[in-house]
Amino acid sequence: MEPFYTDPASQYKALVAEVVLAAVRPGDALVLASFNQSQPGAPSPKALLAAQVDDKSPRAAVASALAALATAKKPGGALADTDLGEAVGVAMGTALGGKPGLIWLFTNNKNSPNNDQATAQRNREFYELIHHGGDIKKALAFPLHMPVRGRYSANGLMIYVFAIKDEGARELDALMRSGRLQKVITEPPARLKPLDQDTVRLLPVKVENVPGVAFSTQPNGTLRADIDAGATAAAAAPASGAGADGGANTGANIGTSSGQPATHAARIGWRLENTIYPYTITSARIEARSVLAGARTPIRLGADTVDGLAPGKSQPLSSSMQLPVAHLPGKWSLEAVKAAGSAAVLPGAIELQLSEQKLELSQAFRQRMAALFPGDPLPDIFTPPSQVQGSRAVLPLEVRMRYGLAPLMALLGGIAALLALAGGLALAAGRTRKVQVTVEGETRTLHTKAGTSQPLHDRAGNKVAELKTTMFGHTLTDLREGAQVRLGR
């Protein structure tokens, strides 16, 4: 690191300061330390600054801590040796105290000339720590062009960042999404770990929509399938000429046999993109499936292998995917009434699995490393571990059933009809009615209401019957034997 400190034009300390300022936020604990290799009586790393970041920028404190930083030497004047693994291990155990966080490491990625020849072994230990250390969940490297000259010369600088534990990985993901670091370091990060997750991504470029189903890609990358509520019933009926496997007839409604869930199928064209810079996927087998409502349904792919896919490059991939709509509420269900004018959402995912995966460093990256670190063998740290032979990528999927207002309007119409009927009945029940009865040859006109009973008496005052009135008419009940009583004249 000697020329990075002694060259008057060196931007090394300024770069460190800007990375620190981009990485931290109020509330973060910040520790700056220099490192080389521990010696008796001279432990490494050595703390330069320990502070809690508040709303005030720590720029002045960081600049002051870096100002006195100079090339480390061993007793006797020789330049100090380097131990990257020791530096990261002590940072995890002491600076972080075993807690989650981010560790940043700035180095020229090599030892001083004519120094400790055990450097190669320590580099292998560094490699093992990164790839096999359980607490290191993610690791990125930024090879940067920074030519400096002093007693020695250098063309490049390497910045590593290690995410410790799951929370640290989430912090690193959030930092990379924020774009703050990219304002300081414009070079893409080289991924060191993990090499078995998100090595590729699926980008839909063409979808042949099924009748009643429309596909779209959302700004967050989610693939959305909007299904008309009426399409569920259409899917349940056999479709003329539709193949059972959705192959040649993909793009038509897929019929279902008795007892089978209704499905829709569509042909989707993708770009399969390599996202694992700086590695080329020399070969891998691929398969895909959709995960919806607990059902895992295979997706038919136009190819089952990927070969020679360079980082950042993509290759076309066709597929046939079925959407189970039987899990969505029917058009006339209570759920449909509740969701009238909106949609019921069924979240899911498309999972892409790579197996028998073989990775190698891209030629472009090899050439870049040779230019930044001339004469140095390519570090083992960029050699993919042999046990990484598979990876998995996930594309969020959202199936939405759109419901119109018809079910709600039908329900409201029915309620209105019932209310009208109830009102009519109430009006009829409250209306006074005239009825004529004849008792022993005498015609009488009575006034009565529905739901009432009225006794009838002869001339002597004896009860001879009872007149009962309902919504539907009048009846005589409790007739005395021999009594001459009838309705009407």
Q: Residues 6 or more apart from 11 whose CB is under 8 A from it?
A: 146
Q: How confident is the model over 163-196, as pLDDT tens digits?
A: 999 999 999 999 999 999 999 999 999 999 998 8
Whether residue 98 is found in the same domain as residue 137: yes
pLDDT for position 256: 31
Domain count, the chain: 3
> Tokens 């807690």 — which residue?
99
Helix or strand holding residue 138 (H, E): strand 136-149
Tell whether 425 is covered by a domain.
Answer: no
Q: Are both 366 and 231 inside the same structural domain?
A: yes
Q: Domain check: are 189 and 286 in the same one?
A: no
Average pLDDT by stretches of 10, the chain with 489 residues: 90 95 94 86 86 90 91 78 86 91 88 61 81 91 93 90 96 94 94 89 77 75 73 40 32 33 66 92 91 82 91 90 57 51 72 90 89 74 78 83 57 64 62 79 80 81 82 79 78
Are 180 and 277 found together in one domain? no
Query: Domain containing 76: what range?
Result: 2-193
Please indicate, yes or no, whether residues 207 and 185 belong to a single structural domain of this protein.
no
Q: How far is CA 122 from CA 26, 75, 379, in A?
A: 36, 21, 12
Predicted pLDDT of residue 42: 77
101 contact partners, CB below 8 Å, separation of at least 6: 29, 164, 165, 168, 171
φ/ψ of 434, rounded to 5, equals -100, 140
Query: In terms of domains, do 48 and 120 share one?
Result: yes
What are the percentages of helix, strand and coil residues in the chain, rounded to 5? 25, 40, 35
Whether 18 and 141 share a structural domain: yes
SS3 124: helix
Reading phi first (left if > 0) and then psi (alpha if -120 to 50, else beta), residue 486 is in beta
* pLDDT at position 237: 39
- Regarding whether 205 and 189 lie in a shared domain, the answer is no
Tokens found for residue 366: 């090899």
pLDDT given at position 247 = 33
Residues 442, 201: Cα–Cα separation, whole Å: 99
Q: Are residues 165 and 290 in the same domain?
A: no
